[in-house]
């Protein structure tokens, strides 16, 4: 019996996929972006359930991620979005993985490798229009056209760009990026480069610009049941497939005034019950990315929170769900233990609580249960950081 585990509801992922396709412009299709182990949900499991929904296009960041999908029976298109290197290309070509090309000198080497293997390599061109990350910018389009002419083994399947401010709904900036993209395509076509597939939308752009859906949209965030920001939340009915749970492993009744945890940051305001769960920052719990304040109001909030902490008042702290009620974390989260102030709620050893564990930060060693049709179909454990034990479940409903 695990004291800490994650449940991933694959039916919720499928539901989200159907929500997305229901508002997709005719003629376009969804490329499922399952990079970063599908934002922590599990790339193999999510891709397999999307296959069942008819999804035929997948994208990841690295060749290694693409190979994991291939080894696990994903036979559809897999596009590598990020930069890759010549040492990985033979394997990518053999496994029919599409590469993104975004540097001129790669074309010469890739052509040489494909020629030696005697196979065509399908690629997508990435163009840089305002993200400032990877891609060909407009000043080298002539050279790009020439290089592609001299590379008969390289087949350009598509051309894409990535929007930097779609989630902020900065329509002016997004339009400028789009217009740059369009003018680069026009120039390439004049140079005789034939491109069959156009795609520009991530989740945010997909929701705001149906006219930009073109041949494909690249969706990650929405599949996982999240919106790019809460301003989009009315646009689709999404379900969150992710639940992290912990069991109570220690209970203690204490009197008013009891201090809790490192630095005694928490002090019980009444007689109460303290329950301990076995989760901490070694599991990725309570580790928040350091945000840059987005404007003066955000900055003010951070200052107020810190001033309140001087009087041991914890403002805006995330709560934990126990028996349908929201309860407080008492004090600082530890390495592998966290204390909860359950007040006068009845609690027993072994009771389950739901915890706000971020999917992208959750330690991969945590037990995973994948659910489909309300049954557990698969368990995933990674031991010692490298050994992966996957157990297929058939009929089990219990954890
Ligand atoms: C991550 C990524 C996406 C998906 O973005 P979401 O906003 O999560 O849907 C699309 N395109 C590229 C190039 C990406 O890197």
Tell me the pLDDT tens digit for each residue of 116-135. 999 999 999 999 999 999 99
User: Tell me, what's the pLDDT at 1?
Assistant: 63
Q: How many Cα atoms sit within 13 Å of 17 on the Cβ side?
A: 24
Q: Are 72 and 66 in contact (CB under 8 A)?
A: no
User: Tell me, what's the pLDDT at 379?
Assistant: 84
Distances (CA, A) of 371 to 222, 224, 237: 19, 14, 20
CB of residue 372 inside a 6 A radius of ligand 1: no
With a cut of 50, say whether residue 386 has pLDDT above it. no
- Among 65, 80, 84, 220, say which to mutate for ligand 1: greatest number of ligand atoms within 8 Å of CB: 220
Residues 87-104, mean pLDDT to the nearest whole number: 97
User: Tell me, what's the pLDDT at 38?
Assistant: 97
User: Tell me, what's the pLDDT at 334?
Assistant: 92
DSSP string, 282-346: GGTTT----PPP-SHHHHHHHHHHHHHHHTT---S---EEETTEEEEE-S---SS-EEEEEET--
In ligand 1, which atom is closest to the CA atom of 35?
A: 1
Cβ atoms < 10 Å from Cβ of 48: 19
- Among 162, 169, 205, say which to mutate for ligand 1: greatest number of ligand atoms within 8 Å of CB: 162
Q: Which residue has the higher pLDDT, 381 or 148?
A: 148
In ligand 1, which atom is closest to the CA atom of 126?
A: 13
Share of the chain above pLDDT 70, in %: 92
| Active site amino acids | 35, 262
- Helix or strand holding residue 228 (H, E): none
pLDDT band (50, 70, 90) for residue 335: very high
Q: What's the CA-to-centroid distance between 219 and ligand 1, angstroms? A: 6
Q: What is the mean pLDDT of the chain?
A: 92
CB of residue 124 inside a 6 A radius of ligand 1: no
CB of residue 199 inside a 6 A radius of ligand 1: no
β-pair type (320-322, 259-260): unpaired
User: Tell me, what's the pLDDT at 154?
Assistant: 97
CA dihedral sign, ordered 49, 50, 55, 61? negative
For ligand 1, atom 13, the nearest C-alpha belongs to 162
pTM to 2 decimals? 0.90
For the stretch 14-34, pLDDT in tens is 999 999 999 999 999 999 999
With a cut of 60, say whether residue 62 has pLDDT above it. yes
Residues 249-266, mean pLDDT to the nearest whole number: 94
The residue among 138, 33, 154 whose CA lies nearest residue 89 is: 154
pLDDT band (50, 70, 90) for residue 393: low
Q: What's the CA-to-centroid distance between 360 and ligand 1, angstroms? A: 15
């Amino acid at each position: 019996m695990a004291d800490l585990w994650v449940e991933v509801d694959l039916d919720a992922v499928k539901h989200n996929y159907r929500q997305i396709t229901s508002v997709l412009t005719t003629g376009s299709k969804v490329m499922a972006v399952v990079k970063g182990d599908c934002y922590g949900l599990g790339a193999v499991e999510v891709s397999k359930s999307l296959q069942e929904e008819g999804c035929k296009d997948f994208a990841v960041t690295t060749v290694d991620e693409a190979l994991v999908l291939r080894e696990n029976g994903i036979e559809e298109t897999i596009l590598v979005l990020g930069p890759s290197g010549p040492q990985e290309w033979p394997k990518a070509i053999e496994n029919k993985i599409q590469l993104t090309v975004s540097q001129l000198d790669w074309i010469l080497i890739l052509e040489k490798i494909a020629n030696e293997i005697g196979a065509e390599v399908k690629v997508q061109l990435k163009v840089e229009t305002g993200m400032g990350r990877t891609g060909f910018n407009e000043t080298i389009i002539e050279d790009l056209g020439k290089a592609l002419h001299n590379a008969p083994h390289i087949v350009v399947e598509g051309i894409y760009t990535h929007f930097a401010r779609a989630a902020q709904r900065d329509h002016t900036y997004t339009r400028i990026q789009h217009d740059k993209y369009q003018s680069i395509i026009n120039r390439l076509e004049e140079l005789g480069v034939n491109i069959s597939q156009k795609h520009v939308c991530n989740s945010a752009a997909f929701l705001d610009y149906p006219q930009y859906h073109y041949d494909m949209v690249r969706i990650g965030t929405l599949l996982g049941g999240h919106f790019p920001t809460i301003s989009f939340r009315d646009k689709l009915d999404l379900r969150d497939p992710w639940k992290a749970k912990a069991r109570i492993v220690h209970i203690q009744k204490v009197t008013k005034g009891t201090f809790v945890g490192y630095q005694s940051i928490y002090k019980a305001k009444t007689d109460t019950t303290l329950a301990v769960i076995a989760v901490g920052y070694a599991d990725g719990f309570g580790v928040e990315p350091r945000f840059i304040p987005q404007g003066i109001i955000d900055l003010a909030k951070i200052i107020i929170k810190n001033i309140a902490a001087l009087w041991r008042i914890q403002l805006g702290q995330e709560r934990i769900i126990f028996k349908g009620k929201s309860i407080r974390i008492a004090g600082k989260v530890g390495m592998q233990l966290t204390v909860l102030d359950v007040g006068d709620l009845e609690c027993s050893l072994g009771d389950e609580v739901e915890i706000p564990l971020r999917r992208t930060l959750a330690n991969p060693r945590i037990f995973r249960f994948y659910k489909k049709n309300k049954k557990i179909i698969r368990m995933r454990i990674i031991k010692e950081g490298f050994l992966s034990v996957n157990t297929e479940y058939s009929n089990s409903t219990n954890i």
